[in-house]
Chains A and B, each alone.
Chain A
Amino acid sequence: DAGITQSPRYKITETGRQVTLMCHQTWSHSYMFWYRQDLGHGLRLIYYSAAADITDKGEVPDGYVVSRSKTENFPLTLESATRSQTSVYFCASSEYRTGAGSEAFFGQGTRLTVV
């Protein structure tokens, strides 16, 4: 099916553990993004990627690592999870970075709880 999918949908992990959230898109969009959504903050950009092997920090990158070896995949890794990283994580992709065609398409989200 065409689209953008995230896995898992729900995850509970312990403080200090490493956890990886997966994101896969089938449109061959150049740009991919990771956002987190928290009460009172809306959507905040963690990392983004302009193409395979090109990634850059967003607004809240601390504690996260990304990679993009293939255009269609953009995993997000929490190297040592903390309770403050409890959030809903959204992956998104777009054809262009700005202007028409920059409309980002979002995955269903991953609800991560760090205990």
Chain B
Amino acid sequence: DQQVKQNSPSLSVQEGRISILNCDYTNSMFDYFLWYKKYPAEGPTFLISISSIKDKNEDGRFTVFLNKSAKHLSLHIVPSQPGDSAVYFCAASGNYGGSQGNLIFGKGTKLSVKP
């Protein structure tokens, strides 16, 4: 049973426009959420995170929004650049009874930013 879902395997966006990557989760005990970016033949790199006590976190062109009631988070990239073309993974963790507390990853969304 997937606890972290990225329902869009791919997304194509024009350079300069906004990219919105979505992620849904099922476990209400998750309290920390992260986004990773992965280029081919490289390891994932940490991009941005958000704690469940916040609903928004911004870092330059990247903003993550968290909607706890909907169990949904999104990553906004504005403006999108060709160098943003990569696979983006959503991940979640929680420190609750029975949990190992480890990150649980979604399957990823491949973003293509076209010049």
User: How many residues of B sit at the interface, in one of the four size bands?
Assistant: 20 to 34
- 1/0 per residue B102-113: CB within 8 Å of A? 111111100000
Shortest CB–CB separation between residue A92 and chain B, in angstroms? Answer: 8
Shortest CB–CB separation between residue A48 and chain B, in angstroms? Answer: 6
Q: Are A43 and B43 in contact (CB under 8 A)?
A: no
Total interface residues in chain A, CB < 8 Å:
25
Q: A40-B107, A43-B89 are in contact. Are A98 and B95 (CB under 8 A)?
A: yes
B51 contacts the other chain (Cβ, under 8 Å)?
yes
Shortest CB–CB separation between residue A14 and chain B, in angstroms? Answer: 24
Q: How many angstroms between the C-alpha atoms of A58 and B41 in the bound complex?
A: 24
Q: How many angstroms between the C-alpha atoms of A105 and B38 in the bound complex?
A: 12
Write the residues of chain A forming the contact surface with B, with a CB cutoff of 8 angstroms.
33, 35, 40-45, 48, 56, 58, 90, 92, 97-100, 102-109
